[in-house]
């Protein structure tokens, strides 16, 4: 009974009114045709596809799951047909280069469509998600013949792609991987090893699947410096695109998971499988991060999509379900009880979801705009700044939005009460699906270390400085805006505290490296809550032309966020200052 309606007005408000989408399109070389009329038409059609095709398959796909027999994966009923409609509609090449069969629309357009897909059917959305990561790796690091043969087929939707990174013994520590690549004839390699947790490693959507596999050459140095990346197709593929026999690779099993059951998570075995090197030997880490950073933003969008669907359904139920009377007297005296929405605690949970969805959407879209600016911009310095800011925001988008998705789906279950625990209503599926988003493409702890370590301290705060400058410029520009006057001093104070906390951790970690690890998760959440406060304020600042009711809506939501949610940042700041001592004091043997 879970439903989904694409929130087109909110999406367009953030894109055009808050973030200046029309000016963004006009500034991108090669995006001259991406005017508002065209983009709106694309979003309208995407809404229809997701509401009418993908959303109805979400519940049935969860119940049926994927089946694995004799090395073959069968996806749930309707999934393959939905993929064919997806390809026929041109969605597989929406943002890909025209030279390889794509439509070359800005990445932000693809991201908005992806948010709809993730709300409608997260499991199904994982199949094209991995193709997008493979597309980015081939686009940036592949040779021209590889783009002609493999990239075109993926963009056209005839083949799909995967990322084969981790192995049973190494988890996220890819420096420990053991998969081998032996040079062979005709500039090919023989890839041998086992990869786990491979999303869409095997399925029935397409005949060929293009695996991008991390492996080591015989003379590779140890650690991450010895990683190379290889194209290993399911069906042997010659340099001219001619297909041969089945490659010597197979799906050994699929995982049995608590959520995203309709997404095939595979163990892939490579037994001297034929493949081609992408880029330079021992330089696969760079190509890997191209895939992973794309995927991390995509998983952040998954969190956003789940929050949106949870909120829509919780709001519907809270308005419809009659239970008890308001503490201040009957609000629906013609009914035997008042609807849930009159009760303060129900409103607390609804407003929490609403505030996170709306500010989270602005945060995510802002990051995707930076992808466009970096990839398509013509000014070198502007592209560098976009890259620095994007690198800083990516772990926040990935980790914070997915953690908040867990919170929001939990609130939805609470609002439904006992029905939230029952499969027929769909809330428990959203909660189960949300759990994985904080784990794959790097756990929350890994994202936190990336944010504080690599993206802040190691870069001398390059991205943080750019973001704080953006916040300061906004505050200065809106100093006379009465609509946001109450929020500007708070933002200014928090920005100053953000700098102070960063300097504090940097100094402490020089004396004791454990201080960085001890502070990382709290620093991540502090950063996330402050960033969402900034975007909550931007949502208010742009609202007046939309009318008084719309402005009041955004203002009420921001006030709730600043008074009831933002104080969490103070707790994280206190934990950061507490340091590593209490975490590291206990001996290993004393646990338990």
Q: Which long-range contacts (CB under 8 A, 24 or more apart) does 506-513 make?
A: 506/457, 508/579, 509/457, 512/580
Distance CA 578, CA 332 (A): 50
CA angle 286, 125, 165 (to 5 degrees): 30
8 A C-beta contact, residue 28 and residue 371: no
8 A C-beta contact, residue 350 and residue 311: yes
Neighbours of 83 (CB within 10 A): 22
Q: Which residues are catalytic?
A: 441
Concatenating the DSSP letter of every residue in 21-82 gives HHHHHHHSTT-TT--HHHHHHHHHHHHHHIIIIIHHHHHHHHHH--EEETTEEEPPTTHHHH
Indicate the DSSP class of residue 430.
H
Biggest CA pair distance of the chain: 82
User: In this structure, are strands 265-278 and 72-74 parallel, antiparallel, or unpaired?
Assistant: unpaired
8 A C-beta contact, residue 463 and residue 392: yes
8 A C-beta contact, residue 263 and residue 201: no
Kindly tell me the sign of the dihedral angle through the C-alpha atoms of 388, 391, 392, 393: positive
Distance CA 215, CA 81 (A): 34
Neighbours of 369 (CB within 10 A): 22
Burial, 190: exposed, middle or buried (Cβ in 10 Å; 0-12, 13-18, 19+)? buried
Continuous segment of H or E residues that includes residue 135: helix 122-141
Structure tokens at 109: 């357009």
User: In this structure, are strands 159-164 and 208-215 parallel, antiparallel, or unpaired?
Assistant: parallel
Integer CA distances (angstroms), 280 to 86, 229, 276, 358, in order: 34, 9, 11, 42
User: Please, what's the b/e burial string for 436-469 (b: 16 or more CB within 10 A of its CB; e: otherwise)?
Assistant: bbbebbbebebbbbbbbbebbbeeebbbbbbbbe
Structure tokens at 495: 């920005």
8 A C-beta contact, residue 372 and residue 28: yes
Virtual torsion, Cα 124, 126, 128, 130, nearest 10 deg: -160
Structure tokens at 252: 């050994």
8 A C-beta contact, residue 260 and residue 126: yes
8 A C-beta contact, residue 391 and residue 290: no
Distance CA 399, CA 438 (A): 6
8 A C-beta contact, residue 38 and residue 21: no
Q: Is 345 helix (H, G, I), strand (E, B) or coil?
A: helix
Distance CA 215, CA 278 (A): 11
Q: Which residues pair with 67 in a beta bridge?
A: 74
Distance CA 73, CA 265 (A): 10
């Amino acid at each position: 009974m879970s439903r989904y309606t694409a929130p087109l007005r909110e999406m367009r408000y953030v894109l055009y009114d808050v973030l200046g989408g029309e000016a963004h399109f006009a500034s991108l070389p090669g995006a001259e045709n991406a005017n508002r009329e065209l983009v709106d038409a694309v979003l309208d059609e995407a809404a229809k596809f997701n509401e009418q095709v993908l959303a109805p398959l979400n519940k049935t796909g969860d119940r049926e799951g994927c089946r694995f027999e004799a090395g073959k994966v069968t996806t749930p009923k309707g999934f393959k047909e939905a993929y064919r409609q997806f390809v026929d509609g041109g969605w597989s090449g929406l943002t890909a280069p025209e030279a390889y069969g794509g439509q070359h629309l800005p990445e932000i357009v693809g991201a908005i469509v992806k948010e709809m897909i993730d709300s409608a059917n997260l499991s199904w959305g994982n199949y094209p998600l991995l193709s997008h990561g493979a597309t980015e790796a081939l686009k940036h690091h592949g040779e021209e013949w590889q783009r002609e043969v493999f990239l075109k087929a993926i963009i056209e939707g005839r083949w799909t792609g995967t990322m084969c990174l981790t192995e049973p013994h190494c988890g996220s520590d890819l420096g420990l991987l053991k998969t081998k690549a032996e040079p062979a004839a005709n500039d090919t390699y023989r890839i041998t090893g086992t990869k786990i947790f491979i999303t869409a490693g095997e399925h029935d959507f397409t005949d060929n699947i293009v695996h991008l596999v991390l492996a080591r050459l015989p003379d590779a140095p140890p650690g991450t410096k010895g990683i190379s990346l290889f194209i290993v197709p399911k069906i042997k593929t010659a340099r001219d695109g001619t297909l041969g026999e089945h490659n010597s690779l197979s799906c050994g099993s699929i995982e049995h998971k608590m959520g995203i059951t309709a997404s095939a998570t595979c163990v892939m075995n490579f037994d001297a499988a034929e493949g081609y090197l992408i880029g330079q030997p021992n330089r696969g880490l760079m190509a890997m991060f191209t895939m992973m950073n794309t995927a991390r933003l995509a998983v952040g969008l998954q969190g956003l999509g789940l929050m949106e669907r949870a909120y829509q359904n919780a709001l519907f139920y809270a308005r419809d379900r009659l239970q008890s009377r308001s503490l201040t007297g009957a609000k629906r005296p013609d009914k035997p009880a008042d609807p849930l929405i009159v009760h303060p605690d129900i409103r607390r949970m609804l407003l929490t979801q609403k505030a996170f969805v709306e500010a989270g959407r602005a945060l995510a879209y802002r990051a995707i705009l930076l992808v466009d600016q970096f990839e398509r911009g013509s000014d070198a310095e502007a592209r560098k700044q976009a890259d620095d800011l994007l690198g800083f925001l990516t772990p926040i988008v990935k980790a914070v939005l997915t953690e908040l998705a867990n919170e929001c789906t939990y609130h939805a279950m609470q609002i439904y009460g006992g029905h939230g625990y029952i499969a027929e209503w769909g809330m428990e599926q959203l909660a189960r699906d949300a759990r994985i988003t904080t784990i794959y493409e790097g756990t929350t702890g890994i994202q936190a270390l990336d944010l504080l370590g690599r993206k802040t301290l190691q870069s001398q705060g390059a991205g943080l400085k750019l973001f704080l400058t953006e916040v300061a410029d906004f505050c200065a520009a809106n100093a006379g805006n009465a609509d946001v006057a109450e929020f500007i001093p708070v933002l200014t104070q928090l920005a100053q505290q953000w700098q102070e906390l960063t300097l504090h951790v940097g100094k402490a970690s020089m004396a004791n490296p454990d201080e960085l690890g001890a502070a990382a998760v709290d620093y991540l959440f502090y950063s996330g809550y402050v960033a969402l406060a900034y975007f909550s304020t931007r949502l208010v600042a742009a609202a007046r032309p939309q009318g008084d009711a719309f402005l009041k809506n955004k203002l009420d939501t921001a006030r709730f966020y600043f008074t009831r949610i933002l104080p969490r940042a103070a707790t994280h700041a206190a934990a950061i200052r507490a340091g590593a001592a209490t975490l590291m004091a206990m001996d290993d043997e004393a646990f338990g």
